[in-house]
Structure 1
Amino acid sequence: MSSLEDYMLPCLNKKLFGFECMGCGMQRSVSLILHGDFIGAFYMYPAIYTLIPLFVIIGINFLFKFKNSNKIINALAIATVFIIITSFIIKKI
């Protein structure tokens, strides 16, 4: 039986240029969440815990429009971008 890791896409940026991009670790983080390792998922890709609610709310808003959804989506998007950039900088240091 094959595992989820067998189907993960390699980072093109890492293969071509030799360093990780801002999205490196996202697939492995989702895999860790699916395996129940929530702390490991956070250390792998901290923005995963804002990305998941962001995608869920966007999906729900697509099906059922609700009040203040734009404010929630914008706040989650800004938090996600901030976390992605901050964790990328910390990895580089």
Structure 2
Amino acid sequence: MYSPEDYMLPCLNKKLFGFDCLGCGLQRGLSHLFHGELIAAFKMYPAVYTLVPLGLLILTSLFYKFKHLNKIINGLAIASVLIIIISFTMKFFN
């Protein structure tokens, strides 16, 4: 029986240079999130909880306009970048 991880893309950065990139773990984090494994998703890729709403809001903004939508999108984008950098730094030095 195949698992979803059998179909995931490998990290080119990890194959070439031997260490994780800033996006390593996103696919597995999304897989955990969609399977309801919330803690495992956070441990795999903490920014998954800001990237999913960010993506949904960006898709929503293509069809509907809300008063403060751009501010919310910008805030989630900044939070996502900060979480990605902090978690990458912690993973890199541990």
> Structure 1 runs of 4+ off > 6 angstroms?
none
**How high is the sequence identity, in percent, across the aligned residues?**
62
Look up the match of 2:61: 61
Q: Are 1:20 and 2:20 counterparts?
A: yes
The CA distance in 1 between the partners of 2:40 and 2:3, in whole Å, is 18
TM-score (normalised: structure 2): 0.95
Q: How many residues align?
A: 93
Letter in 1 for 2:10: P
Which amino acid in the other structure matches residue 19 of structure 1? Answer: F
Match of 1:90 in 2: 90
CA distance in 2, matches of 1:73, 1:36: 25
Map Cα deviations across residues 3-29 of structure 1 (whole Å, 9 max, x no partner).
211210000000000000000000000
Distance, in Å, in 1 between the alignment partners of 2:78 and 2:33 is 23
Residues in 1 aligned to 2:54 and 2:35: alpha-carbon distance in whole angstroms: 21
2:70 aligns with: 70
Distance 2:2 2:63 in 1: 34
Structure 2: tracts of 5 or more residues without a match: none
The equivalent of 2:81 in structure 1 is 81
Give TM-score, length-normalised by structure 1. 0.96
- 1:61, CA displacement in angstroms? 0.9
Deviates more, 1:3-12 or 1:69-78: 3-12
